[in-house]
Amino acid sequence: QVVDELEGRMSQGGVVVDYHGCDFFPERWFHVVLVLRADNSRLYQRLQSRGYTGKKLQDNIECEIFQTLYEEAVLSYRKEIVHQLPSNTPEDLERNLDQIMQWIEQWMKDNN
């Protein structure tokens, strides 16, 4: 139902999807897939500060350790469109934004 609901919007292009998984989104929707990665000690502190405890905290840390979302993305889409970006510090976030803007600008040049 999610895919059916989004199909019209996605077919128009120019859409960013922020989701913690990807195995049910069709590859045709995406030109690039970004997987944000975090150092486990920083991630642990970040999640604790958000109130994560017990199994939820453990599951999220294990997911990062085992690269679960990255592996899911590589299995779901062509490897050449899947990229990992560090997400540890405010500086990482700034660099990621710069990189994403460069990708968007290049895509627009190549496709318009």
User: Distance (Å, rounded) from C-alpha 82 to C-alpha 35?
Assistant: 7
According to the model, what pLDDT value does residue 112 have? 77
CATH code for the part of the protein at 1-111? 3.40.50.300
CB 60 within 8 A of CB 47: yes
| 42-54 as b/e: b if 16+ CB within 10 A | ebbeebeeeebee
According to the model, what pLDDT value does residue 44 have? 96
pLDDT digits (tens, 9 = 90+) for 21-34: 888 899 999 999 99
According to the model, what pLDDT value does residue 35 have? 96
pLDDT digits (tens, 9 = 90+) for 47-106: 999 999 999 999 999 999 999 999 999 999 999 999 999 999 999 999 999 999 998 899
CB 37 within 8 A of CB 15: no
According to the model, what pLDDT value does residue 7 have? 94
Amino acid at 91: E
| Among the listed residues 33, 14, 35, the one whose alpha carbon sits nearest the alpha carbon of residue 77 | 33
The pLDDT of 42-51, averaged and rounded, is: 96
pLDDT tier, 39 (very low <50, low <70, confident <90, very high otherwise):
very high
Domain regions of the chain by residue span = 1-111
The pLDDT of 18-23, averaged and rounded, is: 86
pTM: 0.88
